[in-house]
Structure formats: C-alpha cells, structure tokens
Amino acid sequence: MSNNKHPPQWVTSNPTQITTVTPRVSILFPVYNGRRYLRESLESVLAQKFEDYELLICDDCSSDDSPKILAEYRDPRIRLTRHSINAGLFVTLNELVAEARGEIIRLWSQDDRMKPECLETEWRFWQAHPEVGQCYCGGDSINESGQVTKPQRYDPTPDVVEPWLVAQISTYHGCMAGNISRMSFRKSVLSEVGPFIMKVAGDFEMFVRIAGRYPTGYIRDCLVEVRDHYGQFSRQSGSAVVSMRECRQIYRELLSRLPPQLVEYAKRYQLRHQHRLYFHHAVRSLLAGRIQIAVDVMRFLFESTNPFAAGFWWALTANGRYFRLPPQYLPPKPEAKLCSSIEACLATGI
C-alpha cells in the first residue's frame, strides 16, 4: 500500500528514445536524501555491460539536492517519479515492484556501487537456475571514502540453497543477503508471495518468506560494494528497536521451520549472540546519552528473554570475543547427526 494521496506520476528520462520492448531486468532504486553518494551509485548502474534493463527511480520526498541530481540524467532506460510525502523504504519498493516490467527484479541502494559485470553475471545465473525464486550476490564493504574495509570472505554456502538450509543459516546469522543491494527476485515470485510488509526488516522478512517456498540462489562473485556509514537507513535513530521487534516475528517463523532437535540449541545461540548484541546496543546508547533508546531496548529484552542472562554473556564473552557458541546444522535425513559446519552438513545431507 502507498501512503501517498495520489498515485505516483512517472516521467521517462529521455522520452524521445523510449522503447516499448519489455526489459529483462527491472532495477528498483528508492532515493531519500542521497545527495552525497547518489551520482556514484547511479553511474555504476548506467555503466553496466548488460544493457537490457529499466531503471525505476522513486525520490521519496527528499529535502536535499537529490531531485536536481536525478533530473540531470537523460537515459531512456530511466523512469522517474517523486513522492509528495515521505512514504518509507518498503512502501516505495512496493510501488516500484508494481510498476516493474522485467522478468527479474533487482533492488538497489543510493549509497552503494555496482560493478560493471554485476547484471550480466546475475542474468546468466538466473538463466542457469530456473528453480530459484530469489538470489543474492557477494560483495565488499566500503567506507565513506569508497575504500574497501571488509573484503568478501570465503562463504561455503552452495550456489542453490534449499529451504531447510536457509532456515538454519538464517536462524544463526540473520538475513543471508545482508543488504538490499545484493538481492534480486523473479517478478512472478514477488507477485505470488505479496508485498513487503515490515518497516525496517522488510528485506529479511521477504527473504525468509520466499525461502520457505523456493530454493535461494547464491552468486559468490563479488559484484557490489556496499557502503557502511552513519547516515544509512539501518542506523537511523530508533530504527534498531523497531528492527528488533520485527525480527522477533521473523525468528519465530524460522524456529518453526527447524528440526525439533535443533530448536533449543538455536534458542541458546540466540541468547548468547543476538540478544547479547541487543544488550550491547543498550549499553552503547546509554553511554552516548540516548536514554530512551537504551530504555526501549531493555524493555524489549524483558519482553523477549532474560536481559540479565544477555548481560551475563555480554560481560563473560567481552561482547562475543571469547567463548563463542558455534552454529549447529542438521541435514534432512532421519539418521543424521548434528554438524558443526555447512560443509559437513552438506556432505552428509545431500
């Protein structure tokens, strides 16, 4: 649903060159006060080797120079609209999904950079794996200056991840994609499962929803550079508490998909990792003078778990530096035993 009183009015960047041919890929590009990195991000999309795409951009009522920057670009693949009031990231994405014409829906962020071979590599993967409903790619983390701060690590996740394994990995590690700039979907699958429904954790919830019905694709090639900075959506004031409440619903769903033998272990893991991180967020907020956020996080911990236990593991492990509890995986075989790694799980479970 849209929060706007009137439906968005779409403008083609260069209407004299518009084509009626349906593109293979639709790139969805929500923008909100993205002036600092917007040109760099947009130009990385326009520099793609794969050219059969449309770029749907929605400016979500920015108060900076973002609309002026967007108006500078004259490319027939760009279709642009602007909200009269701020609707939020996932409301905007729902509108863009409804407008998209491509077979593949590719999400993108105003802060990040797409490598020139990104769309080409992803399209080949989609063609090779018709059974996959969603896909995510590898990527490096970059800082505000664009320097790589966290190169992509080796990841043993297979190219095609079955629903049972997605449930286990997601329970331990959260959203496997990690960021919307690494995510793409079949348009038909999004039409089947429905819209994004959460405010902050909408990408995680959608990922889990689709993973319950279809295999998930993983392209291990490093195709994007995801920018880590203090102005990004996930770090906005108060968004962490909203995310905690939304993720609680997602983790309940994930726990319901686990083999019964794994459920109690997964709950202990969440206490010593996820809830310990929540406790750390409360401490940092308190020390920074953000009292209300600290109170809200502690209230959430009282509702969800034992905050004193979370605090105990926070102190004992020096916030996760020591005494780490490893994930445990269980292959889908009646006689299977717990495995300490994805590789061992796959070796015995497939």
Per the domain annotation, does 239 fall within a domain? no
> Is the confidence at residue 165, as pLDDT, over 70?
yes
Q: Are 45 and 75 in contact (CB under 8 A)?
A: no
The average pLDDT across 293-317 equals 94
Domains held by the chain: number: 2
pLDDT tens digits for 115-125? 999 999 999 99
Enter the tokens of residue 142.
């970059």
Please name which of 328, 177, 170 lies closest in space to residue 250, comparing C-alpha atoms. 170
Per the domain annotation, does 85 fall within a domain? yes
Statement to judge: residues 204 and 292 lie in one domain = no
**pTM reported for the whole predicted model:** 0.92
Handedness of CA 140, 321, 298, 207 (dihedral sign): positive
Beta carbons within 10 angstroms of residue 173's beta carbon = 12
The average pLDDT across 328-341 equals 90
pLDDT value at residue 3: 47
Statement to judge: residues 174 and 313 lie in one domain = no
Among 234, 266, 294, identify where a domain stops: 234
DSSP 8-state class, residue 110? T
pLDDT value at residue 239: 87
Q: How many Å apart are CA 289 and CA 24, to the nearest integer?
A: 49
Per the domain annotation, does 335 fall within a domain? yes
Per the domain annotation, does 6 fall within a domain? no
Q: How many Å apart are CA 113 and CA 228, to the nearest integer?
A: 12
pLDDT tens digits for 207-243? 999 999 999 999 999 999 999 966 555 555 578 899 9
The average pLDDT across 30-41 equals 97
pLDDT tens digits for 46-85? 999 999 999 999 999 999 999 999 999 999 999 999 999 9
Statement to judge: residues 43 and 162 lie in one domain = yes
pLDDT band at 327 (very low <50, low <70, confident <90, very high): very high
Statement to judge: residues 208 and 293 lie in one domain = no
Q: How many residues does the chain have?
A: 350
pLDDT value at residue 13: 63
Statement to judge: residues 282 and 314 lie in one domain = yes
Statement to judge: residues 110 and 168 lie in one domain = yes
pLDDT tens digits for 238-284? 788 999 999 999 999 999 999 999 999 999 999 999 999 999 999 99
Per the domain annotation, does 314 fall within a domain? yes
Residues 6+ apart with CB under 8 A from 210: 133, 134, 185, 189, 193, 216
Beta pairing, strands 134-142 & 183-186: antiparallel
Statement to judge: residues 214 and 284 lie in one domain = no
Show the domain range for 122. 11-234
Per the domain annotation, does 247 fall within a domain? no
Task: State the average pLDDT for the chain.
Answer: 92
